[in-house]
Structure formats: structure tokens, C-alpha cells
Structure 1
Amino acid sequence: MCVKITSVAKQLPKYTRKTSEIIPFIKHWMQDQDTRYQRKVIKLFENAGVDKRYSIMDAEEVFMNTTFEEKNNIYTREVTKIAEQALLKSLAKAQLQPTDIDYIITVSCTGIMIPSLDAYLINSLQMKQDIVRLPVTEMGCAAGVSGIIYAKNFLKENPNKRAVVIAVESPTATFQLDDFSMTNIVSAAIFGDGAASVILSSYENEKGPKIIDESMYHFYDATYMMGFKLVNTGLQMILDKEVPQKISDHFPKIVFPFLERNNLKIDDVDHLVFHPGGKKIVQTVEDLFGVLGKNIDDTKEVLRLYGNMSSATVLYVLERFMDRNPAEGEIGLMLSFGPGFSAQQILLEW
């Protein structure tokens, strides 16, 4: 059974600020910290490779002493809106109606909703009453790829069906006002909010790149490297400085065997759809792919324009390739890393 990606659409929240406009807020927030540390933090923001980012709340709200409950209420209200807008855009691109979807997967790790987001979308858009639901909550940055893998596995067993994967994140809602650690600061410097929606189909006559193969690679003894810790003030970021080196060390075991089992080499890959985890991770992967004659220019551009939006970000990169209509037969490799620690990848053929 051939499963294709038929459309991808993004949706940004209503608030946006350039990094230069956020720095005054950072200076005020850090006014009681060591002067040298303040300079280090400002330099980090200026050199993070993110020109601006979008948010479900304005900067003043982010730096208010709001409780976990208050921020999560904003998360629940606002991500529902942008998720619905992203879904409607992807349906319009594919010339479909909400009732044409048979399987809905929603992914997010930056807030807590029970019922999950998909339930709200089913109600607001009057989707099928027998639609199959799957909320994915704890896969972090890798969940955009994970969701596509789960949708593909459903569709390959069910001909003439369609699935949608909706990734929506607000790392802004996890900012810790009383945490002046470098982890919290790096998170604030590289992350932004956003949503994206991907429609997949097992109809033979529908167009789009087909999913040739998928893979998950799990790193042993690396659960400490990335994720969130639930504290009284919300979700506190965990981001170990070893992540770029760990990716570099494992890269040959992740990419090359995956391509080899599909009788491909890196030279055969035309498009690298890589998740922009942050400047250091992007530089690491760029160095690895660069010596192989490949570039990740679209990954860098998405990071610059929007920041890292966790699970949704790789879908922003995918949309750029989809909108260019690559030539028939061209090969794409999607790759994301997330908590666990894990790498998740998909092989596409246009």
C-alpha cells in the first residue's frame, strides 16, 4: 500500500517580536544577576541564529509572574486556535473537507490538555464521529516525524483513507521566570511557538511524495539529555550540552544503515528535511552533511525566521520543499531528534 503526503500547512500565533526587541526584556529580567553573566546571555541571544520568533502570548505576559495554571490555560486556549487554522489550511491545499479525514494525530509537549486537542478539533469542525484519534504528548522535537510514522502505519493497512498529523507547540509557555540557569536561557533564545498540519493519504490517485521507509533509532543511557521536568511553576526544560556531540557520534549508525537498506547512498538524496534544534545542533549536522556534499539551507532559514517550535518545526521545513514541487523521482530524507534520546527519520520519494 502506497502512502503519500498530500499537503502541509503552517500557522503562526498572533504575537511576534524580533530578537532585538526581546533583549530589553531579558536585560530587565536579569538586572540583579552578575554583570558578566548578563553580557554572556545577551550575546547568546544575539548569536542564536534566530532573527525573530512567534508566541501565543506577548512578551509582557511571558515575563509576568504567572502560575503554571495561568500559562497552561493560555496554552489550551491559543493552541486550539492555531491548530484549527493549520488544519483548515492543509485541507484547503488538498481540496478536502474536515469529514474527509479518517485518522487524526495531534502532537504537543509544551502544555497539558485532557481531553486532548484532537477532541476539540473534532467538535469544532464536525469531523467524522468514527474518526480514529491518537494524541502524542511526550516525544518532544521528534514528534512531528513520529506522528507521520504512526499515520503511515495506519494508512498502509487501510486503503482509501486519509490521516492528518497536527503538531502545535508553545515553548514560550514553559519559560521559568525564577530560573536563571543557562538551560532556561538557551531554551528562551532558540525556541518559538507555532503549529503545522500534514495530510497523508492511501488513495492511489492522490498526489504527493510517497513514504518509502521510516526508522527510529534509540540512544542508550541518554534519558537525561533532553525533555521537561514537571515543577510547581510548570514544565522546566532539560537540555544537555552534550546533545550536539552525541548526534555527531551516532550519526553514521543512524543515517547510513537506513539508506543502505533502501539501496541508497547519501549521494542519492536530493532534499534534506532536517529539524532545526538550535544553532549548535544545526552546525553539527551541517558539518556532517557538508562533507558529503549536501546542505541544510532550508533548516537554517526556518530557524532564523521562526526559531525551534519543537515538534512542528520540521514540518515547516517540509512545507518549503512541498511548495517547490520537486521533480518526480527525487528523494527526501526527514530527520528529527527528541527526548529519549532518539532519532526519527522518514524517506520520501516525489
Structure 2
Amino acid sequence: MTTVANPPSTDVIEPSKISPGQLLTSARIMGVATAVTGSSYTQRELLDIFEISDPKVRSVFLNSAIERRYLSLPPRDEEGTILPEAQGELLDKHKELALDMGARAIRTCLANAGIDVDDIAYLCVTTTTGFLTPGLSALLIRSMGLLPQTSRVDVVGMGCNAGLNALQAAAGWATAHPGQVAVMLCVEACSAAYVIDSTLRTAVVNSLFGDGAAAVALVADPSGSSAPRGTPTRFDGPRILGFTSHLITDAIDAMRYEWDDAQNKFSFYLDPHVPYVVGAHAEQVVDRLLSGAGLRRSDISHWLVHSGGKKVIDAVRINLGLTRHDVRHTTGVLRDYGNLSSGSFLFSYERLLQEEVATTGEYGVLMTMGPGSTIETALIQW
């Protein structure tokens, strides 16, 4: 167990900028880490492996702004032909990949934050690419040797926006339990959610997603001597100030994961108008997030947006009046990993930390988009 905390650092937010009820959490992001599967492939390599010759499909892959993705491809027969995977085999793949990536992301996250595994008091796991009962949280507690009294919750099936939904739940728990460690994990084995056919609809999905996991550790500042045993000794991560959500009910079917009778497995559908729908609603969600804190978009130093795809990123950037530099981590993650679903924004957050450019007092906006159609945002301050 780690030692009892020193007094928390002084807050830097200007109280005059926060309206009553706006400060919903005192949780801080103490550490972050990511993990991927073992093998990566360029878009051209994937086209060759699956022997895709249709020029329209090849164009979708090669014009995606994605260079490489981490995937666990289907097995092959003795002649090298790709073998089909039944839904049961895909669920087994999801379990294996998710437990491996998830455990590695959590362990590295804790090491980065100087926190012991035994100090985890709450674990929230979100995934969309598979279903298990008991869920991944229980399986990770057993496989990683977490304390059996660890509180836990599984968020399943919410899609690419789910990372911020889960972060809000974890931040709320941390705020209610000052000094105790909450861990939130996004883990998506997109390799276990693919359908292989010749349709252009499937090609769009298959050109986009990759495997990945991301974990964050959260702790709310304790009040000095009241810090419980196991509280971290430093509080230098950004504080989460609040969240906003928006459900675009007119586009509730624009992104959906549903059963495909022809394939006898689940299949993801992505409406081609999604980028424009999300972009058209981005301003009102972000402005609502900022207005409660008395902030404008120009007050935000760091933008960490979900890597949903080239058109999605461009639509959000244009509608919010952001520069390409503002979304450099978002586009970089898309280029190097593809769309990682719920954990994409944390891959961008990790890259921002590696730059070491964020300074005390600066604000950041986290933004995710997904089925519903849904836009989620969070405001943080270093």
C-alpha cells in the first residue's frame, strides 16, 4: 500500500468563473496508459491479405487517413486462405484480447501514477465489441489479483462515446470517496466485431476500426488528515470540472450494432451522414459545457477529440473553429491506430502528456461521439 497523502495542491480555477452547481467533481486524472494487440497492418497490407480488388472498396481503405492499425486477424488454412469466424469464436477472441490489453493498460497506468494494484477501490470497464457475464471487471479483478472487495461496474454496448460516460461514473465515485483510487478502463477488441463480405457498407466499417485499450486512474483530493490508507502522495493531474451530454434523437439509428441474419453474427452499421450530423451539433454541446464555467472556446488550450474518422474530425474541427494543430493528436491517433472506439480520446490525451506542453491553469476539452447519435464532453483543468 502507498503512504498517506500530503495535503492536496492548491486549486487554480478562478471561482468567479464557476456558476453554482457547475463544479460536479473534484476528481483528478492521476495517470493514463494505453495498450494494443501484438500485430499491426497497413491499409494496403490488409487489402492484399483479404484479396480485395474492388476499386471502390480499395479507395475507401486508401483514402481513410489511416496508415496502420493493430488487429488480430482470423486464422488461415494450410493454403493461407482466411477462415470464417463464428459468433462464438469472436466472443472468445474478445475475451482473450480484452483481458490481455486491459490488464496491461491498467498496470502501466498505475505505474505511471505511482499507485499499487491493491490500492484500486473501484473499477469501471467499458466495451462495445463483446458481451460477457460475468463482465470484464470481474474477470480482471480475478486475473490481476485485485482485492475482492473492489467496487465495480461494466458499461457495455454504448459505443465510441462510452469512454466519457464511464469517466463520469468513475469521477462521481471518486468524488464521493475522497482519497480512494478509481480506475476507468476502455477496452475494445474490434477484431472480434468484424464481418467479412463484399458490400460497401461493410468496407467502410472494416477500413476504420482497430484494437486498443486505455486506462485512467482518478483520485479526489482528500482533506489532509482525513486521507485514507492507500491515498496517492501527489495530486498534480488535471481536475475534471464537469460533463455535458447530447443525444441527437433524430439520428438514433445512424450508428448501430445489430444482428446480421445473412452472416449469422453481429454487424456494425455506420450511416454516411454521421460526420455532418455530429458536426452540426458539436457547437451547442461544447458551448453548453463552457458557458457554465464562464469560458469561451478561445480559453481552451487543449482539444482531445475522438478519432472517429477523417470526415468526423474535419466536421467537428470546422464547426468548432479549431485549427489542424488543435486536433493534431486526434488525427495522429487515427493515422497510427485507426478508430479505437471508446478509448480513442485517451490515446490522444496520452500523446498530449508526452508533449509536456500543458501548464498549470490551462483548460482542456475532451469530446467523444457515438451511437445514439451521442456527443459527450468533459472540461478539465491542469
TM normalised by structure 1 equals 0.92
Q: Which residue of 2 aligns with 1:348?
A: 380
Residues 105 and 164 in structure 1, CA contact (< 8 A), matched pair in contact too: yes
Structure 1 residue aligned with 2:141: 122
Q: CA deviation at 1:63?
A: 4.0
1:246-280, Cα deviation, whole Å (9 max, x unpaired): 11221222111221111000000000000010111
- Hey, what's the Cα distance between the residues in 2 that align with 1:96 and 1:251? 36
| SS of structure 1 residue aligned to 2:250 | coil
Give unpaired runs (5+ residues) of structure 1: 32-37
Identical pairs, percent: 27
CA distance in 2, matches of 1:194, 1:183: 23
For the pair 1:189 / 2:223, whether they are aligned, the reply is no
How far has the Cα of 1:149 moved from its partner?
0.7
Number of residue-to-residue matches in the alignment: 341
In structure 2, the gaps of 5 or more residues are 1-24, 223-233
Residue in structure 1 matching 2:42, options 14, 18, 39: 18
Displacement of 1:97 in angstroms is 1.3
Pair 66,219 (structure 1): closer, same or farther in 2 beyond 3 Å: same
Match of 2:89 in 1: 70
Q: Does the 8 Å contact 1:110/1:235 carry over to 2?
A: no
Cα deviation per residue 1:113-140 (whole Å; 9 max; x = unaligned)? 1111111111122212221111000110
Paired position in structure 2 for 1:320 = 351
One-letter amino acid matched to 1:198 = V
The 10-residue stretch of structure 1 (323-332 or 132-141) with the greater mean CA deviation from structure 2: 323-332
- Per-residue CA deviation, residues 139-198 of structure 1 (Å, 9 max, x unaligned), is 100111111111111111221111111111122222112x33222111111111111111
TM-score, structure 2 length as denominator? Answer: 0.85
Q: Do the aligned partners of 1:107 and 1:144 also contact (CA within 8 Å) in 2?
A: yes
Cα distance per residue 1:271-299 (max 9 Å; x no partner) = 00000101110111122234679721110
Q: 3-state DSSP class of the match of 2:147?
A: coil
**One-letter amino acid matched to 1:82:** M
Q: Tell me how far apart the structure 2 counterparts of residues 323 and 7 of structure 1 sit (CA, whole Å).
A: 12
- Give the stretch that moved more between structures: 333-342 or 218-227: 218-227
Whole-angstrom distance in 2 between the partners of 1:182 and 1:92: 43
User: What letter corresponds to residue 191 of structure 1 in structure 2?
Assistant: F
- 8 Å Cα contact 1:8-1:322 kept in structure 2: no
Instruction: Indicate whether 1:239 and 2:301 are aligned.
Output: no
Question: Using a 3 Å threshold, how does the CA distance of structure 1 residues 169 and 348 change in structure 2: closer, same or farther?
Answer: same
1:35 is aligned to none
Once structures 1 and 2 are overlaid, which stretch shifts more, 244-253 or 99-108? 244-253
1:222 aligns with 2:254: no
Q: Is the 8 A contact 1:227 1:239 kept in 2?
A: yes
Higher-Rg structure is: 2
Q: Of the candidates 112, 120, 142, which is equivalent to residue 101 of structure 1?
A: 120
CA distance in 2 between counterparts of 1:332 and 1:262 reads 13
Q: Which amino acid aligns with 1:345?
A: T
* CA distance in structure 2 between the partners assigned to 1:184 and 1:293 by the alignment: 29
Task: Report the CA distance between 1:202 and its aligned residue.
Answer: 1.2
Offset at residue 60 of structure 1 (A)? 4.9
Distance 1:122 1:134, change over 3 A: same
* 1:50 is the counterpart of 2:66: yes
2:309 to 252, 268, 278: 278
- Aligned: 1:199 with 2:228: no
> How much does 1:75 deviate?
1.4
Aligned residues of 2:60 and 2:207 also touching (Cα < 8 A): yes
* 2:366 aligned to which of 330, 334, 338: 334
How far apart are the structure 2 equivalents of 1:54 and 1:183?
21
| Residues 128/245 of structure 1: CA separation in 2 closer, same or farther (3 Å cut) | same
What is the RMSD computed on CA atoms of the aligned residues?
A: 1.9
The separation in 1 between residues aligned to 2:268 and 2:34, in whole angstroms, is 25
Partner residue of 1:40?
A: 56
What is aligned with 2:102? Answer: 83
Q: Which residue is 2:327 aligned to?
A: 296
Contact 1:183 1:237 (8 Å CA) reproduced: no
For 1:248 and 1:125, how far apart are their aligned partners in 2? 40
Match of 1:210 in 2: 239
